[in-house]
Chain A
Amino acid sequence: MSAASIDVALPRLLSGISQPGMVQLDRHLDVHGPLPAPARLDGATLVELAERSQLRGRGGARFPAATKMRAVRASRGHAIVVANGCESEPMSRKDALLLEELPHLVLDGAALAARAVGAERVIVAYEGPNHDSRLSLEHALKQRRSAGIDSVAFELFAAAETFLTGQETSLVSQINGGLPRPSFIPPRPTQRGVRRRPTLVQNVETLAHLALIARHGADWYSGLGTETEPGSTLVTVLGAVNAPGVYEIECGTALEPLFAAAGGVRGAIAGLLIGGYFGSWLPAAVASELELSDASLARHNAALGCGVVVVLPSGACPVAETVRVAIYLATETANQCGPCVHGSAAIARTLHGIAEGTAAASALADLGRWTSILPGRGACHLPDGLAHFVSTALRTFPAAFDDHARHGPCEACSAPALLHIPPPSKKLR
């Protein structure tokens, strides 16, 4: 794979964007053409297309889209589709970009998903305070109504601004009038979700891919990427690069061409964060060998998750960055599950003690124990994500943690934060 392949074959999703702002309907149709009519592409064929494309969810869990669609089709009752644009991961920008600039691609995909599961209603969810997303979606829906291109009914839903807002069952809970809290599974939303109906919740990027797969087919989609991970994917690159932003990459591509697309790495780097706040810290040394494929990332105990790649400059303090995120995640617990409430608080408190140089001698051993017993013990994966984020930090930057535990804050601790921490929300929990 080379930098050239990025230029030649991409962009796909982002190809409509020629200037800042929303891609209007006429331009969208010029670039991509109309959607295939139901007579030419029915629901069952769409599911097969998603299957043959090996399309997987882009919200973070990377669950096969076709499997979810089949589960909804197999459930009794009138299905509903939820297009999930709640980008609660603080470092990710891709979903907001899709909603703001490419709403027609997302709405196409949502209409197709409805066709795939036999739904007549689609709910498009975005993070409430993200006003630009709402404006674009409203404008796009108006254009589509004038053009008469949809046979499904769309409605918009303003979700809460919390870290767990976009978690599948938490979003369903909100749409049903409840709080943004995950629920215990089963039942899955595919069995009983919005208004107790079978509900297909799909990330907006997944839907945008579906919009192109429906037009061009599975073979076209698989013309990029690897055998087990075909296609392209959106990645948010931040930190020590010259042009941070959202990039569309070939699945499985090496980091180097991605960094090149992002204007190159700026100066020496201390490490990488792959997958956002549920992701993994990795040492800088792996950057040259790492590919953004499940297989390569799994070898490093990592996953692409929601597609966030942060380059930590050598001037930043990994301890301070880790502590801030751990405290943030611990405060974003939905306060439902004991292991999460107590475990995440204990982890955050102890990490803070290490950063301040005031922790007990047992601190590192305590962290090791807590991060190993937390995964799998909440209704959602917040404890798993926090535990993984912290344990990979401890493994990647052992000297820095040891140094802080002994001597307290370093000079870089007071530098401005690189990893964004949203202000405390007036949370409904």
Chain B
Amino acid sequence: MKLRVNPINCHAHGLCAELLPEWIRLDEWGYPIINPDRIPRELEAHARRAADACPTLALLLTRD
């Protein structure tokens, strides 16, 4: 699985980077920079939690 953001829907709430700092950091305006690689198995549950927590549903978990 991979993580992707819909940049039109993202409003820089920043929750994703708090929940998944191993995979997501924020730029200086608060928008996520996401590691494009396949998510390691041990982080999958955290990735799902981050996607579910996004207030604008902009963080998407994709099957590669």
Contacts and interface: CB of A to CB of B under 8 A. Distances in A.
Contacts of B6: 184, 379
Given A373-B33, A377-B31, A377-B33, A339 B8 contact: no
B11 interface: yes
A373 B27 contact: yes
| Interface range on chain B (Cβ under 8 Å from partner) | 10 to 19
Task: Give the secondary structure class of B's interface.
Answer: loop
Contacts of B35: none
Contacts of A184: 6-9
Contacts of B30: 338
A342 B8 contact: no
Interface in B6-20: 6-12
B29 A378 contact: no
Contacts of A339: 7, 27, 29, 31
A337 interface: yes
A377 B29 contact: no
B8 A336 contact: yes
A399 to B, nearest CB: 29
A338 B9 contact: no
A337 B8 CA distance: 5
Interface string B36-49: 10000000000000
A338 B33 contact: no
The 5 A-B pairs with the shortest beta carbon distances in the complex, nearest first, are: A337-B7, A342-B29, A338-B31, A336-B8, A184-B6
Interface of B: 5-12, 27, 29-31, 33, 36
Given A184-B7, A339-B7, A373-B27, 18 more contacts: A183-B8, A184-B8, A336-B7, A337-B7, A337-B10, A338-B7, A338-B10, A338-B12, A338-B30, A338-B31, A339-B29, A339-B31, A340-B7, A342-B29, A343-B27, A377-B31, A378-B7, A379-B8
